[in-house]
Amino acid sequence: MRRPQVWLLAPMVAVLALTLVYPMLYAVRLAFTDPLTGDFPSLANYAQLARDELFWRALRNNALLPAASVAVELVLGLALALFLSQRFPGRGALRVLVVVPFALPEIVVLTIMRYIFVPRGYANAALGALGLPALDWLVPGSALAWMTVVVVDAWHVTPVVFLILLAALAGIPEDIREAAQLDGAGPAARLWRITLPLLRPALLAALLLRGVDALRIFATPLVLTGVEGVPVLSSYAYHQWADYGNDAAAAAAAVTLAVISLALSVPLLRVRSET
Amino acid sequence: MRRALFIGLAGAGLAAVILLPLGLILKQAVTPEAESFAWPPTWLPHAPTLANLRELFGSVELPDGLRLSLLVATLTVLSTLALTLPAAWLAARAPTVGRPLDALLVIARLFPSIALAVPMAVLFVRIDLYNSPAALGLWIAHTLLAVPFAFFVLRTGFRRIPVELEEAAQLDGATRLGAALRVTLPLAWPSLAAAALLVFLVSWDEFAYALILQVTNRPLPPLLYYFAAFGYPGMASAVAAIMLGPAVVIIILLAPAIRSGGLTGSGR
């Protein structure tokens, strides 16, 4: 084959450089410039963030929320994939239905969920109908609000994990499981000794993909609980920029998030290049 | 018998958890605003009405937002395809250029939107693209967002078309690019259509960049956010229902491609 015509890549790579790399470098510059004196490099913005209790809450949530929601999504996605890889009438329709939440626009999902979980919403109406007391699902700073964010995120994105695991399950030959069954292995032993080990690469891929993706969490806590309810780094940066007009502090928070995201992308890229 | 019962219950439970929220948004869209504030909330509208939709289309915000959303999504489809078509074809035919490009595209695909939207907003203010009436700044951001999706779909599509067809055309005197344009491109139209639909949806659904870059000239997603935040449940739900329309149509059109795995490796 002749030398590849590499210039065909040039427009795309140029646009990526201009829209991804350049704004990122610009954010780094803003983040490390003292807004008062113009000194560069300076840690003035990070000193300001370090004094802000909301920033520390955002940083903590940005570690704990993705961990919790990815864990929930892996368990639910695996359960759904195992359930829907069995044979029964109506399976095809259910498989499509299960993917529907992911196909909906994020802001539409969040708008619905807000009407469900507000104090006078449908969730409390359902509890009331069952004779149970109403709950404050979204009260800022509460553990329950935090869990509501995880549940809503899981409702929306579990289909991604489900699709990855369903495809992997389809690749496991039926006779391996049948052989194990003939050898006397019960359902639990078959899951634990056969299916899960064979699913390991797919589970790892789903974990890394969703893990890096989950770090971006922004709209879910913002729409459900507001900026201070369940702060994350993205909503904190948005808050600094939109409510205080503080470009430098917003950029400092944005760079913090970008560094975490890039660091966690490394293992993801390594796994991808092995497959 | 017990198995059938378990499957029936699990299936019904799943369907309820997924369909109930969707049903509620459609219900609120046709419910008078006053009824939406009732306690306890009604599960079906007592007096179904199209007043919310009528009021929306009589307002300034919705027609403008709809136009802007359609415009940005269309422009994004055009720019994204123009950028990714040649690149994806080359990557499919010359695998050696793939690796570093893959890494760049995966990073572009998973990079936190807000971490880019903030510096973009600061830059766009300077070059007068911030809050542009034609959403030109947002168009640039959406192109960045959509390029990885389109690239991977198109590269998969090009790889499925045998290179021998291009080589045969070259033996007949076509240049290498001419062969790609006249032989491969027409055969690749299903992937091209899938990529275009997917890119349209990426832009149509996108919230974070739109919220930050279009502060008053708002496309539908931030418009929906403000309607909901300012306490118009009926109108917000009607906007949500309008947004669902194209999303549902495109997902139905893309379903075969999703099932055949041509779109996997993509996410939110």
- Please report residues of A whose CB lies closer than 8 A to that of B233: 115
What tens digit of pLDDT does each residue of A161-200 get? 999 999 999 888 888 878 888 888 888 888 888 889 999 9
- CATH code, B225: 1.10.3720.10
B140: which 2 tokens?
Answer: 């640039």
pTM of the model: 0.92
Peptide bond into A41 cis (omega under 30): yes
If you average pLDDT over residues B2-22, what whole number do you get? Answer: 92
Task: With respect to residue B209, please indicate whether it lies within any of the assigned structural domains.
Answer: yes
Q: What sign for the dihedral angle of Cα B25, B30, B34, B38?
A: negative
Are A106 and B222 in contact by the 8 Å Cβ rule? The answer is no
Q: Give me the domain span that covers residue A87.
A: 65-249
- Please report residues of A whose CB lies closer than 8 A to that of B27: none
- State whether B38 and B154 are in the same domain: no
Are A19 and B141 in contact by the 8 Å Cβ rule? The answer is yes
Q: How far apart are CA A187 and CA B115, in angstroms?
A: 46
Residue A37 phi, psi dihedral angles, 5° rounding: -100, -15
Please report which confidence band the pLDDT of residue B264 belongs to, taking 50, 70 and 90 as the band edges. very low
A35: which 2 tokens?
Answer: 């807004």
- Please report residues of A whose CB lies closer than 8 A to that of B99: 273
Which residue is associated with the tokens 């009331």?
Answer: A128
As beta bridge partners, residue B264 has B266
If you average pLDDT over residues B103-130, what whole number do you get? Answer: 94
Q: How far apart are CA B118 and CA B212, in angstroms?
A: 7
A57: which 2 tokens?
Answer: 């809450």
Contacts for A9 with CB less than 8 Å, ≥ 6 apart: B86, B87, B90, B91, B97, B101
Q: Does B86 touch chain A (CB under 8 A)?
A: yes
| Maximum pairwise Cα distance, chain A | 76
Task: With respect to residue A213, please indicate whether it lies within any of the assigned structural domains.
Answer: yes
The minimum CA-CA distance between B87 and chain A, rounded to whole Å, is 5
Q: How far apart are CA B65 and CA B63, in angstroms?
A: 5
- State whether B123 and B231 are in the same domain: yes
Q: Give me the domain span that covers residue B40.
A: 1-49
Task: With respect to residue A191, please indicate whether it lies within any of the assigned structural domains.
Answer: yes
Contacts for B234 with CB less than 8 Å, ≥ 6 apart: B28, B29, B31, B32, B33, B36, B51, B52
Task: With respect to residue A19, please indicate whether it lies within any of the assigned structural domains.
Answer: no
Say which DSSP state B188 is in.
T
Q: How far apart are CA B31 and CA A20, in angstroms?
A: 44
User: Following DSSP, what letter does each residue of B27-54 receive, concatenated?
Assistant: HHHTS-HHHHT-SSPPSS-SS--SHHHH
Contact A109 B21 (CB under 8 A): yes
Peptide bond into B32 cis (omega under 30): no
Taking 70 as the threshold, does the pLDDT of residue B262 lie above it? Answer: no
Task: With respect to residue B164, please indicate whether it lies within any of the assigned structural domains.
Answer: yes
Helix (H, G, I), strand (E, B) or coil at B266: strand
Q: How many folded domains does chain A comprise? A: 1
- The number of helices, as runs of H, and strands, as runs of E, in chain B is 14, 0
If you average pLDDT over residues B168-186, what whole number do you get? Answer: 87
pLDDT score recorded for residue A273:
64
pLDDT score recorded for residue B182:
86
pLDDT score recorded for residue B268:
31
Taking 90 as the threshold, does the pLDDT of residue B39 lie above it? Answer: no
Alpha-helical segments (H) within B94-112: 98-110
Helix (H, G, I), strand (E, B) or coil at B238: helix
Contact A241 B251 (CB under 8 A): no
pLDDT score recorded for residue A92:
85
Mean pLDDT by 10 residues, chain A (275 residues): 77 94 95 92 95 96 96 96 90 88 94 94 94 93 94 96 92 83 83 90 92 95 94 97 95 96 89 64
- CATH code, A235: 1.10.3720.10
Of A111, A128, A250, which has the smallest distance from its Cβ to B224's Cβ? A111
Are A260 and A215 in contact by the 8 Å Cβ rule? The answer is yes
Burial class from Cβ neighbours inside 10 Å (0-12, 13-18, 19+) for residue B126 reads exposed
- Please report residues of A whose CB lies closer than 8 A to that of B113: 216, 218, 234
Number of other residues whose CB lies within 10 A of the CB of residue B60 = 7
Task: With respect to residue A170, please indicate whether it lies within any of the assigned structural domains.
Answer: yes
Please report which confidence band the pLDDT of residue B266 belongs to, taking 50, 70 and 90 as the band edges. very low
Are A86 and A95 in contact by the 8 Å Cβ rule? The answer is no
Helix (H, G, I), strand (E, B) or coil at B124: helix
The average confidence (pLDDT) of chain A is 92
- State whether B66 and B138 are in the same domain: yes
- State whether B220 and B161 are in the same domain: yes
Q: Which of A115-129, B109-123, B245-259 has the lowest mean pLDDT?
A: B245-259
